[in-house]
Amino acid sequence: MAITIHDYMLPNETHNLYNVNFFGDIIHALLTHDPTVVSQWLSEIQSLNHSQDRRLIIGLDVKWRIEIRNLSSNNLSGRIPTELFSTSIFEIADAEENLGESEVREAHLAKSLFFIRIGDKEKALEQLKLTESKTVAVGQKMDLVFYTLQIGFFHMDFNLISKSIDKAKNLFEEGGDWERKNRLKVYEGLYCMSTRNFKKAANLFLDSISTFTTYEIFPYDTFIFYTVLTSIISLDRVSLKQKVVDAPEILTVIGKIPYLSEFMNSLYECQYKSFFSAFAGLTEHIKLDRYLHPHFRYYMREVRTVVYSQFLEAYKSVTIEAMAKAFGVTVDFIDLELSRFIAAGKLHCKIDKVAGVLETNRPDAKNALYQATIKQGDFLLNRIQKLSRVIDL
């Protein structure tokens, strides 16, 4: 049997000790209703932990939160659950001996959740795989994938996240309810945002905005924050107005997030000085976000590209001084900014330094389509000629 329990049967009513062989792990467990017993027991466990090489796993079953900061031993590594474990180890052993398959599955799922809580990635994934082998229903398999995705995002393991999303999509081909499908959109949107695919992330977030239930990864306020940020650099003005600026789901929440409402509305209303002020307030929030932080500089550039392009779109030519005044910055700053973006091909204009004027040279969409058609046609003709020579041979 995979689980065995040694009961010390102590002659008192306050507590009892157990040694549990839990699938190869020896767990030293204390069962008590008296918090005063815990400190002494932890001291004894720490002494035992220092006297051996193997890492200890301990179990504590009390309805009392212990102070983790008082545990100086790194080897214990926070493996003391600070709340009552929903399915005790004794119930798992009993389920394997006396109960049915569903109870055994629930017991193994509880063990998976325990390893997730304590941050043991390898054992959590191993146990989730074991739980999946005992799972039949597609919906329950999807829930296991969501747990795997949570592990992936916690450890920022994008390879694991990508594989789990593909696995979830394959499971949906076998069936699945809309609630889980909408949850998957949020997970995939977060993955796309974390890997700098902001356009796809915005579309996935907007699709889920009225059906959001993925509170296990972030609250609704954070979801709206991500939706607005990704939409601003991904949508045109018409789509931004319809899907974001006038969206009732966003309007009910956006006021709770500092600077976000001013950031969004000032961009749409072309109040560029207010936009820069709100943008400066948001930068610290973006910089401290665990998913957006790696893309902070990229996102800053993309937002500035959007706002500069929007301003220049209304003019054939405009003085640098007028643009600097509109944004509330100095002429030298806007000159340096535009020089960088023009050199990078982000803005279609040129600077007349002598006259102090910006001249826009926006590419004609029809002409660009014509040039692309000619280029693709030449490529196709070359392929046909090569193929004809092979056939002639």
Place of tokens 């929903």: 86
pLDDT at 62: 43
Does the structure show a pLDDT above 50 at 24? Answer: yes
Cα dihedral across residues 94, 98, 99, 100: positive or negative = positive
With a CB cutoff of 8 Å and minimum separation 6, the contacts of 202 are 189, 227, 230, 231, 234, 235
Q: What is the pLDDT of residues 333-384, one digit of tens each?
A: 988 988 898 888 888 888 888 888 888 876 666 666 777 888 888 888 888 8
Q: What percent of the chain has pLDDT over 70?
A: 79
Nearest in space to 28 (alpha carbons), one of 2, 59, 50: 59
* Model pLDDT for residues 216-251, shown as the tens digit of each residue: 999 999 999 999 999 999 999 899 999 999 999 999
The mean of the pLDDT values for the chain is 81
Domain ranges of the chain: 1-84, 315-360, 366-393
Q: How many CB atoms lie within 10 A of CB 36?
A: 9
Q: Is 342 exposed, middle or buried (0-12, 13-18, 19+ CB in 10 A)?
A: middle
Region 188-193 average pLDDT = 95
Helical H segments across 217-271, by residue range:
220-232, 237-240, 248-251, 260-268
Q: What is the pTM of this model?
A: 0.71
Partners of 319 in beta bridges: 357
Pairing of strands 57-61, 25-32: parallel
Q: What is the pLDDT of residue 13?
A: 74
- Give me the half-sphere count of Cα atoms (radius 13 Å) on the Cβ side of residue 150: 21
Sign of the torsion angle spanned by Cα atoms 185, 198, 116, 82: negative
Per-residue pLDDT reduced to its tens digit, 256-311:
999 999 999 999 999 999 998 999 899 989 999 999 999 999 999 999 999 999 89
DSSP class of 252: T
Tell me the angle at which helices 331-343 and 296-313 cross, rounded to the nearest 10 degrees: 100
* pLDDT at residue 79, rounded to an integer: 37
If you classify domain 315-360 with CATH, what class do you get? mainly alpha
